[in-house]
Amino acid sequence: MAERTFVLPDLGEGLTEAQLVRWRVEPGARVEVNAPLCEVETAKAVVVIPSPWAGTVRTVHGRPGESIPVGAALVTIAAADEAGAQPEGEAVLVGYGSRTPGPGEVRRRPRSSASPSASTEEGVRAAPFVRQLARELGVDLTAVAGSGPGGRITRADVEAAARPDDRPGPPPQAPEADHDGDQRISVVGIRKAIARQMVRSVSTIPQFTEFAVFDATALMAARDAARHKGRPITPLPYFILAAVEAVRRHPLLNSSWDESRDEIVVKKSVHVGIAVNTPNGLLVPVLRDADQLSLEAIAERSSRLIEGARGGSLSPRDMSGSTITVTNVGASGPIETGTPIVNPPECCVIGFGAIRLRPMVVDSQVMARQSAWISISVDHRIVDGGLATEFLTALVGELEAIRA
């Protein structure tokens, strides 16, 4: 056996480091090709790193909570006979999918390693990395009640199901008790990225916020009609579709400021970032080419992205490249409105409050109507107050003109 050191691979999207969340192996453990070695958290996602070789683990480099640069030593393995081992650098990152073969390449079909319960898990809703974790912890997914959207099983569900067997499930960032009883929480990974992005936003972007209220009667009627037709849908896809239509009329809101050249870059495509509250912090998965999608496609894809963000199964690419962001602040409670912070380098973020009955004047009569607040925060270097008002007015118009 020859000892070989596996370094942290390039996780893509310009990421230069990752935080080590936890080891899945320990020195002396036997591993096979593609067996999970550890979990790392980047600025955008939690990723499972698989082994590129079969062999025995000699040394693990790094402790949970540490930041490891791309290219730094991760684990040393006494590799067994390399016949059939996966080539170095081509390990499949769980949740990312495998690399597409190039011209003339042939993808080898892996040996069947189905567990006895594999056939019974076909109807279970769970991300690939959640299934992998369940196999490692010996959890039968068919016996787990999913807490995710649509009954999807999350990582937390699997770890909770494993606890009766006294299997370890330490949190990625355990608070440390200070000498006076205070707690210190390591700010790394996603939380550190959020902090940097927010500091960048408020320190480099002169931004202002405008507010409006829209009559949601037509939107709610359209949603109810879709549900009666067997197409359950939330208000979010309607919000996104209305934002896209408003952008068509005011494309400057779908732009960014190029600080290196002092230029405004108006984006051709509309890639909508969707702010999602997750156990790991605020994530913004990206609905690409939203301007080319129907309402049904927006609903299906946005639901999948939100589910993936909460389940930790999205790749960094799934959370990069947005051109405008929406945040449904009313989804978590009876929140009227807020002042969202622009997501650099974008120009605009749109916040939607809770839809509820409010007194409104209709045909000179005061009556209770379903309505909601909207707020937009914009980069004042690109957008002045007049254009922001026109965009917000167009957005209200689109929402109030929705038809079933």
If you average pLDDT over each of 111-125, 275-289, 386-400, which comes out highest?
386-400
**What is the tens place of the pLDDT at every residue in 246-271?**
999 999 999 999 988 999 999 999 99
Give exposure, 34-53, as e/b (b: 16+ Cβ within 10 Å). bbbbbbbbbbbbbbbbbbbb
pLDDT band at 109 (very low <50, low <70, confident <90, very high): very low
The domain spanning residue 16 has which CATH number? 2.40.50.100
Domain end, chosen from 98, 133, 154, is at 98
- pLDDT at residue 114 in the model: 39
Peptide bond into 237 cis (omega under 30): no
- pLDDT at residue 148 in the model: 65
User: H or E segment at 245?
Assistant: helix 235-249
Does residue 106 lie in a domain region?
Answer: no
**What is the tens place of the pLDDT at every residue in 368-390?**
999 999 999 999 999 999 999 99
Average pLDDT estimate for 98-124: 42
Q: Which residue has the higher pLDDT, 176 or 379?
A: 379
Does residue 180 lie in a domain region?
Answer: no
**What is the tens place of the pLDDT at every residue in 206-237?**
999 999 999 999 999 999 999 999 888 999 99
pLDDT at 108 over 90: no
Catalytic residue among 61, 179, 228, 380: 380
Cβ(55)–Cβ(49) under 8 Å? no
Domain end, chosen from 98, 128, 147, is at 98
CA distance 247 to 243: 6
Take residue 229 and report the two structure tokens written for it: 């037709």
The domain spanning residue 145 has which CATH number? 4.10.320.10
Does residue 306 lie in a domain region?
Answer: yes
Provide the domain count of the chain.
3
Give ∠ CA 310-315-321 in degrees, rounded to 5: 100
| The dihedral formed by the CA atoms of 217, 221, 227 and 229, expressed in degrees to the nearest 10 | -160
pLDDT band at 19 (very low <50, low <70, confident <90, very high): confident
- pLDDT at residue 43 in the model: 66
| The dihedral formed by the CA atoms of 218, 394, 392 and 328, expressed in degrees to the nearest 10 | 40
> In whole angstroms, what separates CA 46 from the centre of its chain?
10
> In whole angstroms, what separates CA 267 from the centre of its chain?
22
Average pLDDT estimate for 124-152: 73
Query: 199: exposed, middle or buried (C-beta count within 10 Å: 0-12, 13-18, 19+)?
Result: exposed
Domain co-membership, 85 together with 194: no
Average pLDDT estimate for 18-34: 90
- pLDDT at residue 193 in the model: 74
Average pLDDT estimate for 129-152: 74
Question: In terms of residue numbers, what domain contains 49?
Answer: 1-98
Domain co-membership, 226 together with 371: yes
pLDDT at 93 over 80: no
The percentage of residues in the chain with a pLDDT greater than 90, rounded to a whole number, is: 47
Domain co-membership, 285 together with 365: yes
Residue 228 known to be catalytic = no
pLDDT at 394 over 50: yes
